[in-house]
Each structure stands twice: as structure tokens, then as C-alpha cells.
């Protein structure tokens, strides 16, 4: 059954790419006579995207445990770099405070949310650096909540 899978994908691709006039979409550009993208060409693009995702999943499925660990570490390093950048960005967010002309109580709220974001981004960076992969998703969710809260309160002020 598994051996038939690649053959079925090839046949499905050829069927999706073939036009009744005997040409493949690559030959006619996937366009109808009107010059607009043909519906079947759009479906072909979606099919190719799905196939690419399936191929990635298949490759992951056949990765050895050391290869999977290497991929996780690679993504964790990227997350750590982005978390460090986010932490540094908090300084530029705080620098905008004087131009917002907020009342004193709102300034405290703004600064508290900025400090919370800084701490959360540092926590995310530490989790990524120590390969705490399972904890990263929860921390990203908390960061998103902090950002959403601040945006709801203050974003309209900054333009």
C-alpha cells in the first residue's frame, strides 16, 4: 500500500496539470482563454502546496531520532534569537511613552505591560536555549496575550 502512494501522487499531479487540449499547464501558463487564471490551475497550485507539505511530513517521518533532535535544536536557536530581539524591542516601545501623553495611571499600566513582555521574552529565550521545547508553546501564548492586551489598550494612540 505504501509503495502505491508515490504512484498515486504522480498520477494525481499529472491529471491536475493536464488540459483537455493536450497541453500541460506549464505549457499554457495555467490560464484560460480570457487570460485569467483558470480554476483548475488554482487547484493545481493548492495541490502542489499540499503535496509539498505531505512530502515534508514524510521526510520527518523517516528522520532518525538524532536528526529530529538536530532539527528541534535548530528551531530552538531561531526562537532564542527572536526572543532576544523581542526583549530588546521592548526598549523602543518604552521610548515611545513620552510621545503618547498618557495620564499617570495609564503610564504605569503601559510600563507594567512592557516589563511583563520583557520578562516573558527572556523566559522564552531561556526555554529555547535550554531546549525546553514543550514549554515554548505555552510561553508564546502568554506573550501573545500580553501583546494583545497592550494593543487593545494603547495601539490606537500610536497611529
Q: Which is nearest to 87 in space by CA: 123, 55, 54? A: 123
Q: Tens digit of pLDDT for each residue in 65-113?
A: 888 888 888 889 999 999 999 899 999 889 988 988 899 999 999 999 9
154 and 82 together in one domain? yes
**How far is it, in rounded angstroms, from Cα 10 to Cα 130?**
42
What would the DSSP string read from start to end of 12-46? HHHHHHB-TTS-BHHHHTTB-TTSSBPHHHHHHHH
Percent of the chain with pLDDT over 70: 61
Containing domain of residue 122, as a range? Answer: 70-158
Beta bridge partners of 37: 31
- Specify the higher pLDDT residue, 53 or 143: 143
84 and 154 together in one domain? yes
53 and 96 together in one domain? no
Q: What is the pTM of this model?
A: 0.59
Amino acid at each position: 500500500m505504501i509503495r502505491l502512494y508515490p504512484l498515486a501522487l504522480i498520477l494525481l499531479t499529472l491529471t491536475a496539470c493536464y488540459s483537455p487540449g493536450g497541453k500541460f499547464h506549464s505549457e499554457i501558463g495555467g490560464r484560460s482563454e480570457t487570460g485569467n487564471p483558470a480554476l483548475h490551475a488554482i487547484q493545481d497550485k493548492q495541490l502542489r502546496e499540499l503535496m509539498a507539505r505531505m512530502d515534508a511530513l514524510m521526510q520527518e517521518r523517516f528522520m532518525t531520532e538524532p536528526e529530529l533532535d538536530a532539527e528541534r535544536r535548530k528551531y530552538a536557536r531561531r526562537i532564542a534569537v527572536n526572543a532576544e530581539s523581542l526583549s530588546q524591542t521592548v526598549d523602543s516601545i518604552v521610548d515611545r511613552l513620552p510621545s503618547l501623553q498618557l495620564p499617570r495611571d495609564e503610564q504605569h499600566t503601559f510600563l507594567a505591560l512592557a516589563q511583563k513582555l520583557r520578562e516573558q521574552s527572556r523566559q522564552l529565550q531561556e526555554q529555547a536555549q535550554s531546549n525546553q521545547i514543550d514549554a515554548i508553546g505555552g510561553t508564546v501564548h502568554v506573550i501573545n496575550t500580553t501583546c494583545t492586551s497592550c494593543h487593545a489598550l494603547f495601539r490606537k494612540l500610536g497611529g
